[in-house]
Amino acid sequence: MKRLSILIAIFIAATTFYNCNKSLKSNTHIISPKETQTLLQNHNVQLIDIRTPKEFKTGHIENAQNIDFLSLDFSEEIKKLNKKQPVIIYCRSGRRSALSTTKFLDAGFTEIYDLQGGIIKWKKQGFKIQNHPKSSRK
């Protein structure tokens, strides 16, 4: 009888944890480059490129703000953003942005969009990027 009670308690705890985790993730939506473009054109969203500054300078989506996921102050920097406004995050291939969603949720964001495949897929599907001109040396 004790074993049955313990098994039931473990089951209830696991189910509660799963449902809580699932509801947190429900605020995060993985979207295609085409859906991203539509959101950028039709809605007031914050576009965040979480690649390194060096990667950002090689080209980024127009109007993106660069906040480096690998920097020590990433969590503090995203807290400065408007948590009530939807946020679209992207990186090179989608791995870092997928990892960063937890930090955005922890910071209090309620509407998070993750660009599927990152800037690689964005470019592959023919969407434009903004390049930084190389500085001239004298």
Phi, psi angles (nearest 5°) of residue 60: -150, 165
Provide the 8-state DSSP code for 79.
T
C-beta of residue 26 within 8 angstroms of C-beta of residue 113? no
* CA 88/CA 29 separation, integer angstroms: 9
Alpha-carbon gap, residue 117 to 40, rounded angstroms:
17
Task: Determine the Cα–Cα distance for residues 30 and 81; give it in Å rounded to an integer.
Answer: 20
Annotated catalytic, 20?
no
The vertex-84 CA angle with 15 and 63, nearest 5°, equals 115
Among the listed residues 39, 87, 91, 119, the single catalytic one is 91
Residues labelled as active-site residues: 91
